[in-house]
Structure formats: structure tokens, C-alpha cells
Chains A and B, each alone.
Chain A
């Protein structure tokens, strides 16, 4: 009897989930269908996180399992098969700040919720955000920062986007340890999310899905 990958993965049963993927691949199940199930499972994980049933360790662990599944499935995907994406998001930790745990979780949750995410990494200069928005035509930008020094960097990044004439083209969300509404106003961003799923909600609100 084939066990349900969606439920097993959503329940974070690593060994069982990997076994299911293995046997489905063996049985010739289309790889994209497996990935779609995995994506649906991660959507449940995200929902459980929003509902305070799951927390950061659970998100991190789900990502760890998903990575293994993707590694197993990816080689079987033939060219031309692509997952349809809701929209594009540029993400990065702002200049001067190298914290990535929070940013990575947001990237991960945006990705499994159907967004194409361009992750610029950490300590990202304002100009790099501007260039990436131009290059990709992304409609949403996420600025992450843990340090209080990041407030100023976020503000400078928002200003650089404005200067490049792109401010009306994009919605900007910020997040990180000490971010609140007051800081949001200070930086000139459109919104702040207190956790990864709020980031997903903001992005969905702005570019549909």
C-alpha cells in the first residue's frame, strides 16, 4: 500500500518520507508529481507554523528532508518540465549584516509556496538589490536584517530603489530580530513580517496566488 507522501512529510517523518519517494520513483511515478506532493506537504508545514503548531526547528528539519527528496528526484526531471511560479521575489540580508538563518527560512517558505526567489545572500549592497530587480523584473523585495545597524542599511536600500526609479514597481517587505512598525516607517518599506509565513502572506497579497 502506497503511503501518503504529503502526510508523512508534513508530519516530519524523515525515514518514511524518503522511502516513499524511493519506491514511487522506482514505480515510475512522474518526478514532478512527487515534487508537487512535497510542495503541498511543505505548505501544510507552513500552515502549522502559522498556527503555532510548528516552530523554527520543525521548519529547518522539513527543509532538510525536502532537500534530500529534491536531490533524489531532480536527476529524473527532463528538460522543459518546469513548475509554474506565482511570481518573483528578490531577497537578501542588507549591507553590514551577515545573519542568514531568518532570511533562509523566508526564502525557503516563499519557494515552497510557489514563488521564484532570487536570494542575494548576506551583506548585500543596495545597488545589488537594484540590479537584481532590474534584471528579473521582480515585483517584491524582501530585506532581512538582525542587527539594529540594519535599520540604516534597509533605509539606504529603499532609497536606492527609489533613486533608480523602481519604487513604484516593487513592494518592499522587511523582517528580522528588532524590526517593528516604527522601524518599518523609518526605512520607508511597505510592510514588515514578524515571521516567514507573514512574509509569504505579504508576497501573496501583493502578487496574487
Chain B
């Protein structure tokens, strides 16, 4: 009899998650070759990230947001408002370039939903930036300096009634709601419902329903693409997502400048908040990975890169909660995918604290030879193809660069060919060069 989930070890859970990913349940393969391509790609990924055996060749995962559409002349505005155009470009990209894995177009999201909700945390094409530009974060203090205790006390309530009303215009009236745990037993029910009778709250709920209706239309199309892509033989290499707790603070709620000042003015509050947030994002990553049937949890890293803080600050503010997040996800059989833009040269020693194959790292400007030397036996690494070279360089240059990466970082396996950064635009010849050359030269004999 099969073991119950709760009785499984982390390794057994991981094995089960990989098995689910490989099984491609519900996927209608277009041909036996497509099925074979899919399964080989998943196995290649597994062999590469778990360092258990040398894969058949270097896996290729060109991750980006708007670049696939860009290659076919589809603008960022069209991507966010005309799902059909986005998805047909995404499909053409897979047909023409044949990477091993696709990055989900779900990452782009719907501009219509952002419009309905009046989102303030970002500007997006046609809404605060030009139609040819991409969505971009608006720096701000969405949580105030004195609100740490409220966040730490009850993050969900803080999100519901303080943070979300600030970042969504449509959510603003929901500040009127009463805390959920206040509702206990019969005497409280009638009174607790009063805020739902206030016209602005009722209108807010209607607006949320409208956003929900659009979300259903959007996901139907996205899922159609996802199933078709898999049917064509391309797995996605991302199951869930999470964020480093420090980045939740510094990107999402407090803003970069304010968080940095907090590190001086109220360091204890910052640390308490990070500790409080960590389990929430373990839960998010595990939940999404389980739902998607794919163990890989994408974690984009931002404010802990070289230069963003001192070693002492990294050690105190950034690393402990990130490490706890990674270990927490790994304990549930997930494989965190650290997407590490910028450089991490001064942080590599910390990565040695992570257990073997507990996660993998896609680097941008990190010295790959050194990373391989320090981490190669312990963790899979990847990336490092510079955006600047892809966009302004030649195919020959890219091939030479990839050759060196495969020779140095790919030696013996444990390397994924990828851009160093999430690409917003692209260039056909250099991207073809990266993929085609790796398929040919990156084979392990």
C-alpha cells in the first residue's frame, strides 16, 4: 500500500511531486514524439536539479515575460488586453524556437483586471506608461512606519483591511469590514453583517465580482494554451511561486527606501515582521506547487543582491528568512527555483549552508566559474546569458558565451541554460543561437 502523504519523508514527497509532473495528467499529446519530448524534458530537468545523475544534455529554459510576444511584433499592451494575440505568439515561439520548457504567459496577467480593480502598486502598458512599455512597480510606502505591530499581530487582517485598500482603489471601501474572528455565535452575526449593507462596500463587492468574471475568461484561455503547449511536448518548469520575506517587505508593502531606513530605525520590528511572514510564503509555494502538480517553486530575488546591502545586513536581514523559506519548501518536497538577478558573488558562501539539491539557482551576473567551484557538488546553477548580449550582440558572440558556460558551469551536469534576467524584449538570431547551440553542444556523452 502506498504511504500516506503525511507519513512521507521530504525526499519521498519530492519524488511523488516529480512523478506527478512527469505523468502529465490530462494532457493530450499531439504525437508519441511529443510525449517522448515532454517526458525527456522533465527527466532532464530532474536529473539536472537533483544532481543524482548526469542528464542527457543541458536543459534550456529561456524565461521571460513579454519577449516571446515581442519577437512576433505583439506589443505589451496587446499582451495584457488581447489574450488571443499573446497566446498565439507564445505558441509560435514554442514552434519556432523549441526550447525545452515554457514560461507561463500567466505571468503577464490581464490589464483588464488591473483596470477594474484600479491597481496602484504598478503602472502597466497604456496605464501610466506607454503601450510599448511593460508593467512596472511604483515605489511607495504602502505600509506605514508605525504599522509593523499591526502586520505582525495579524498579517491577514492587515492585508485585508489596510494593505489591499491602499493598493486597489476598488478595495478601498472594504476598510469598513469588521475583523473576521470577531464573528462568533448567534449574537454577533447580524451586527457583523452591517458593513456589507453600506453602498460603497456593496459596490466594491460588485467590482470584485466583475474582476472575477474577467479572471475566469482569462484563465480559460491561459489554460487552453498551457494544455496545448504540454501536448506539443513542452512542460512548464514552474509549479508555484513565493517571495523572499525581505522582498515582500521591501518590494510589496514598505517600499525600498523605507525598508532600508527601517533597518536602522526599527531593526527589531523588521526582523519580527520577516519571521512572521516566512511561513505564509512557504504555505503559498507548497499550495501552488500541489495545485499545479509540479514541484518547482519560483522565487524571484531582489534586494539582497551584491551592493544592495552589506554582508552584515544580508546576514541579519535577508538570509535567515530566505533560508527558512527554502528549507520549508524543500521539507514539503518542493524544489525552490531562486531567480537571482544582479550578482550574488559575495553571497555564495551562504548558499553552502543549503542541503544538497534542496533548490537551484539561476544567476544573472554572478561569476559562474566561482559559483560552480563553490556550489557545484551541492546545488544546480544556471543562467548568466547577459540580456545586453542577447539584445545588442551577435549570434556568434552568444554561441561563444554559451560554449564557455557549458564547459565551465555545465561540467558534469547541474547547469540550466537560461537568460540571466527575465526578458521583456528579444532578438531572434541571438535567442536561436542560445537554444540551437546548446542542443548541439550541450549533450553529455
Contact = CB atoms under 8 A, between A and B. Distances in A.
- A and B found bound together: yes
Interface of A: 12, 14, 53-58, 60-61, 64, 95-101, 123, 147-149, 151-152, 177-180, 182-183, 185-186, 195
Contact of A97 (B133, B261, B313, B341): B133
B260 A57 contact: yes
Contacts of A151: 388, 391-392
A61 B313 CA distance: 14
B386 A178 contact: yes
B308 A149 contact: no
Contacts of B130: 95-96, 123
B179 interface: no
B388 A182 contact: yes
A54 B310 contact: yes
Interface in B72-119: none
Contact of A55 (B136, B138, B308): B308
B123 interface: yes
The 3 closest A-B pairs by CB, nearest first: A57-B260, A96-B133, A186-B392
A58 B310 contact: yes
A58 B310 CA distance: 9
Contacts of A147: 133-134, 136, 424
A12 B264 contact: yes
B257 A101 contact: yes
B411 to A, nearest CB: 25
Given A55-B313, A186-B392, A101 B128 contact: no
B132 interface: yes
A101 B310 CA distance: 17
29 contacts: A12-B264, A14-B264, A55-B310, A57-B261, A57-B263, A57-B308, A57-B310, A57-B313, A60-B260, A61-B261, A61-B264, A64-B257, A96-B133, A97-B136, A98-B128, A98-B129, A98-B136, A99-B136, A123-B129, A123-B130, A123-B133, A147-B133, A178-B388, A178-B421, A182-B386, A182-B392, A183-B388, A183-B391, A186-B388
Contact of A177 (B128, B341, B391, B392): B341
B308 A56 contact: yes
Contacts of B128: 98
Of B128, B260, B265, B389, the most chain A CB neighbours within 10 A belong to: B260
Contacts of A179: 388
A56 B388 CA distance: 24
A60 B257 contact: yes
Interface of B: 123, 128-130, 132-134, 136, 138-139, 256-257, 260-261, 263-265, 307-310, 313, 341-342, 386-389, 391-393, 421, 423-425
A98 B134 CA distance: 10
A55 B309 contact: yes
A55 B388 contact: no
A152 B424 CA distance: 12
B387 A178 contact: yes
Contacts of B307: 55-56, 195
Tell me whether chain B's interface is mostly helix, strand or loop, or mixed.
mixed
Of B389, B391, B424, the most chain A CB neighbours within 10 A belong to: B391
B387 A148 contact: yes
A180 B421 CA distance: 14
A86 to B, nearest CB: 26
Contacts of B309: 55-57
A98 B138 contact: yes
B425 A148 contact: yes
Given A56-B260, A57-B260, A177 B342 contact: yes
Given A151-B388, A183-B388, 4 more contacts: A55-B313, A60-B261, A182-B388, A186-B392
Contacts of B139: 100-101
Nearest to A179: B388
Given A98-B138, A148-B424, A64 B388 contact: no
A166 to B, nearest CB: 24
A142 to B, nearest CB: 18
A67 B336 CA distance: 41
A113 to B, nearest CB: 19
Of A14, A98, A186, the most chain B CB neighbours within 10 A belong to: A98
A148 B136 contact: no
A182 B393 contact: yes
Contacts of B138: 98
B89 to A, nearest CB: 17
B65 to A, nearest CB: 10
Contacts of A177: 341-342, 421
Nearest to B67: A148
Of B257, B265, B342, the most chain A CB neighbours within 10 A belong to: B257
A149 B310 contact: no
A180 B386 contact: yes
Contacts of B387: 148, 178
Nearest to A99: B136
A58 B257 CA distance: 10
A96 B133 CA distance: 5
A61 B424 contact: no
B264 A180 contact: no
Of A99, A123, A178, A183, the most chain B CB neighbours within 10 A belong to: A178
Contacts of A149: 132-134, 424-425
A96 B129 contact: yes
A94 B387 CA distance: 18
Given A55-B307, A55-B308, A182-B393, A61 B260 contact: yes
A96 B425 CA distance: 13
B430 to A, nearest CB: 12
